[in-house]
Structure 1
């Protein structure tokens, strides 16, 4: 359900590698394309036709699925290339994946930032083969195939070959070295060897004339003989692909162990940024896995942009801002601040080159930028980064692009009329105006800040005062109830618009199903009427539904943080586990896993508002290595609860914050500034089985609150 894969990855690296079956949506596994209910199996066994590179992580119906450059070890004739063999004895750890094909070949893959290294251990065979299919792309599902537009492949002798395929408008180059002494190397086309040929060129490829092509290495295989395949990748040509290979693999032959060790060390450095104590083994496993999934995407390919010649950061697989801006980007800012700044630099450059900040950005050229999902979300991350004061970015230049972007796409209608449909874009744009106003004010442009601030008030135009909910409109993956509890920049005014605390709380309680009968979840092939009836409930759809991710924390502004504790702890206990189906829906490039990390720590970042909300954590103690120092969350009175995968079969009462201190001083509010968290400190939370008055009166700040005395 999470749509992740167990393949080899490097933290926020460009390259991944995994066994390929053609299944949805990563290329690994058993399942067919599915967006509702329980997924159906495509195959009756776990299988693979080889090992591909560049996989999505946790996405849904994104339509673009990579899986380029398939490497297949074989003891069969070339005619059998493309068939799948059973997989067994799988082993996976950060940066490493291994499995055995039922042909008897043990297969191992590891990756660096821009390289992949394969190691195959063969049984005795008179004709062992390693086949590299350069035409490979996409999935074995309807409309899932990716066809190269142009290609060039060259055999250079002495175990070396290179090639470039233009996929989705992007030139992907690979430089290959194969350690197979005594084996012959050849090019092949349409499963036929080209004896003596050293180059293939394809100027125009269509779906109708595509025939597979690539490189092949073959010879007698001794029992236990290993063949190492080293692949350097680049988006700027074969020469740079070769340099990338040299940089990570060195000049002196086999390098599997070297690359694996370096990547394992990088993963350790990243994962050690957050440490937890206490909790059950299952809960710690889910937490570690969530942290790992949070650090796979976006992909960073420094100095690799195929669209502009300059050096510097280039990021892709931002799939999408709608999925990651609330949870994952604040996590990167906390534990990978350099990469967080690089992402913003890359997005600013994309805006400079293409004219707008993308909502989603893949390794592709074209207008498929997910604009229907949302508007102007990069503004939140940029404003937060500037407020923290750590990223080395030309903020004045960033402000220019932020202001320009506010007038593009749906922004033009919002600028002219103060409201736009789909109505959720009104909320997006009003929020982006507020974030941009904060940056303008920080840079000393008060006139611009005042003008932008006025537009930011347009969020009220999205709501119907008669219902306290959003106006009727079209909605992307949700309805007006799902979007109505977004954490706005003026939650005090938002609650007043709904009729005050009691009315707002009544709507929130209805949304989360307090007092309602349980809802039966859809199974395989749910009928359209069944799904429509579910959506008509206007209920919380789950944490993988992006509008619903932040809704539990809306209770903080209404003076009921205990409700947040009940909902979040229930989700952490019942919706996540250690086995298949252990994620309650698409992981969405780490957005859902990042939610789990923050929720387990007892914090929630409010993107664009430079603050964190406090909730009861899931662990006795946690420490985050923040840019300014270690931030520790410790508890007293925590009850270590099992989770559903521990065999839990009963409802557990929630645990509530009774009192809090920050660095030894009493903390009466349910919130902290982002600056306070990022500079490090010690937050102590005393927990108990009943909600108290803690945090009910001292609510998180809202724009319409009177300023504190020192600012008046």
Structure 2
């Protein structure tokens, strides 16, 4: 997988071939851009580094922030004012972005700092990014878990320099800049310096070493040098008083001479930043190749957890890159919490649970269970400290709660982890926090009235009660479990029996159709409420556009009338929106997995491709890419239910290296497929599961337990070109209440 990764996929506006067939009926209202960046990253590591333009996405690129349609360009070329650290990956219009500690190699005067230069000859791979500035400087960056190493190769010049700007933060767009509250910078001589900036309530410290014998080093403020100065202190900074500041290293260079900048980061002070640098870089004068090789090896290990056979080179590139994007976030750093003094994991860039809990978290659970456990431990600690399980959590004081999006999503991840007997978590203590969290914010309305608005929160909270009840019953608290289970039935209050859809309400990024086909804990009762299989299937067929005409996608600055007409379609948004990610698998519960196969096949075929424009929308911290990984494997995790649904895979054979060994998905009857002009197989008909075996025994159901997958085994799927009756009678598990009634 490693050599197939293309970090540039998703960095530009969506540029996919015009869809045909079913996929042409789907309408994408949200931003048509992946919002990924090609910078150097380490698997789930604390530090990333990339060229910084100040534009969208995440500080790399050339787009203005947008919320619908094709993004507008801020400028017509790729450019950079330097190289920054800490980037989001694929997120949409969140409140702030990082891009802290900008490093700029220059052959111009300091007065030119902040200007931008065209980027040329960009190259990137896992753990590595390189580009030329048109000033003649070749720039290379690699990162470790808590360090970044820059290598700049200069032209012949009598006064080259490396400028470190500690005041930089955010994006160069309206309301996008992040201003430090306090800062301290210290020049320590002999190519060493350190500093701390308090950004959004977090003290970010950096310790750096510059391999530049004979160069001068100085502090600077407001683009003026401070000869002989060794320390800058800023006790209080405001938007109106901020002037750029940092440190500078300057001297002559020969053509082809390289200067290495080694940087250790910490959220617990400069001493720990120095220790992190020494731990990962050692004491050698140069560390670039060492760190790059070590990070590449980490990526090889992580990406090697999934193997696929068959498919085109382009399809394998998309798959490898999707897996890569799935393993960048969240960041999990040991012993780095700035908010509690004890040791242990500190996780951030959970941006957001709404984006990742259905697809990415189950993938992390399968492939990196130790780090997944660390993530859950950190979430519990955040709940201890702040009183809530966050929906979103960044490297900032106070959770970015995103409660408009959803409620109580951490409960699904915790329920799945307990069902798999994950060690290292105090489950009794976790249960206390899960129960307490159910009563907060929208949960109070749900507790008192059995319903909460926006109405989607009723579904969230009912599901979270179900997940919490499973843990309570497993821990022997049957009285609590019974009460939680009773309240978990409150999902029925969200639906209008006359339509089988959600009741009218406000909806976050979508409408009631988008949210009406979520995979609930009682899908048998959900289908009965809609009027039975036939009515439910009819609603699904309408939502997914079966028999509908093709639609036109929004362009740049779509007019309100165009957007209103699109929303009025009540149509599947084709993975351009999170609520739709699980909807294709609702067909499984109505006995029509063949319909699931058609929709997933159309999405894999038409909505993903190679090149910078190869994603249909925001990658959202890897949530979208994780969907692609699972769909290509022929599996879909039902978060919170210890369950996987089975579908026709996109590859002839795949293997997941899990805790219990190897889980293999193999096929017979898998067709080779024609190749489109971009290397993606664009016009094959779908394939359908005809029969299945699990570990050599017939599998008549369309589902597996998560334990079946995590413990290792062999799933064999016989495929064919026509729908079969496989899975029509044996449906995925459900509480199967025969007569759903309003619950109080």
TM over 0.5: yes
Counting only pairs closer than 5 Å after superposition, residues 565-584 of structure 1 correspond to structure 2 as 565-584=597-616
Distance 1:644 1:250 in 2: 49
1:261 to 282, 293, 297: 293
| DSSP-derived class of the 1:9 partner | coil
After TM superposition, give the deviation of residue 330 of structure 1 in Å. 0.2
Change (3 A) 1:644 1:478: farther
2:62 to 20, 24, 30: 30
Provide the residue aligned with 1:408 in structure 2: 440
1:90 aligns with 2:133: no
1:219 aligns with 2:229: no
Provide the residue aligned with 1:661 in structure 2: 693
Provide the residue aligned with 2:353 in structure 1: 321
Provide the residue aligned with 2:231 in structure 1: 199
2:728 to 676, 693, 696: 696
2:704 to 658, 664, 672: 672
Please list the CA deviations of residues 212-234 of structure 1 after superposition, one character each: whole Å capped at 9, or x if unmatched: 00000001111111100000000
Counting only pairs closer than 5 Å after superposition, residues 188-587 of structure 1 correspond to structure 2 as 188-366=220-398, 368-587=400-619
1:138 aligns with 2:164: no
Provide the residue aligned with 1:147 in structure 2: 179
Aligned partners of 1:23 and 1:141 also within 8 Å: yes
Distance 2:593 2:84 in 1: 47
Please list the CA deviations of residues 174-201 of structure 1 after superposition, one character each: whole Å capped at 9, or x if unmatched: 0010000000000000000000000001
| DSSP-derived class of the 2:334 partner | coil
Please list the CA deviations of residues 269-296 of structure 1 after superposition, one character each: whole Å capped at 9, or x if unmatched: 0000000000011110000000000000
After TM superposition, give the deviation of residue 643 of structure 1 in Å. 6.8
Distance 1:345 1:367 in 2: 16
After TM superposition, give the deviation of residue 54 of structure 1 in Å. 0.2
Please list the CA deviations of residues 362-387 of structure 1 after superposition, one character each: whole Å capped at 9, or x if unmatched: 00013531111000000000010000
After TM superposition, give the deviation of residue 579 of structure 1 in Å. 1.3
After TM superposition, give the deviation of residue 587 of structure 1 in Å. 0.3
| DSSP-derived class of the 1:520 partner | coil
Q: Which has the higher contact order (CA 8 A, sep 6+)?
A: 2
After TM superposition, give the deviation of residue 43 of structure 1 in Å. 1.4
Distance 2:684 2:563 in 1: 29
Change (3 A) 1:240 1:642: farther
Aligned partners of 1:21 and 1:29 also within 8 Å: yes
Please list the CA deviations of residues 489-516 of structure 1 after superposition, one character each: whole Å capped at 9, or x if unmatched: 0000000000000000000000001111
After TM superposition, give the deviation of residue 646 of structure 1 in Å. 2.9
Change (3 A) 1:220 1:648: closer
Change (3 A) 1:302 1:457: same
Gaps of 5+ in 2: 1-32, 739-744
After TM superposition, give the deviation of residue 602 of structure 1 in Å. 0.1
After TM superposition, give the deviation of residue 648 of structure 1 in Å. 6.6
Aligned partners of 1:298 and 1:315 also within 8 Å: yes
| DSSP-derived class of the 2:259 partner | strand
Provide the residue aligned with 1:709 in structure 2: none
Provide the residue aligned with 1:72 in structure 2: 104
Gaps of 5+ in 1: 707-712
Distance 1:678 1:569 in 2: 25
Change (3 A) 1:642 1:141: farther
Provide the residue aligned with 1:164 in structure 2: 196
Distance 1:87 1:26 in 2: 17
After TM superposition, give the deviation of residue 542 of structure 1 in Å. 2.0
Please list the CA deviations of residues 622-680 of structure 1 after superposition, one character each: whole Å capped at 9, or x if unmatched: 00001111000000111233576636796432110000011111110100011111100
Distance 2:422 2:181 in 1: 42
After TM superposition, give the deviation of residue 32 of structure 1 in Å. 1.4
Distance 2:674 2:66 in 1: 31
Aligned partners of 1:624 and 1:630 also within 8 Å: yes
Aligned partners of 1:573 and 1:642 also within 8 Å: no
2:216 to 181, 184, 197: 184
Please list the CA deviations of residues 45-97 of structure 1 after superposition, one character each: whole Å capped at 9, or x if unmatched: 11111000000100010021100000000000000001111111111010000
Distance 1:691 1:513 in 2: 19
Please list the CA deviations of residues 476-496 of structure 1 after superposition, one character each: whole Å capped at 9, or x if unmatched: 001000000000000000000
Change (3 A) 1:128 1:307: same
Distance 1:316 1:528 in 2: 36
1:53 to 64, 85, 88: 85
Distance 1:68 1:355 in 2: 29
| DSSP-derived class of the 1:646 partner | coil
Aligned partners of 2:393 and 2:399 also within 8 Å: no
Aligned partners of 1:573 and 1:643 also within 8 Å: no
Distance 1:371 1:169 in 2: 21
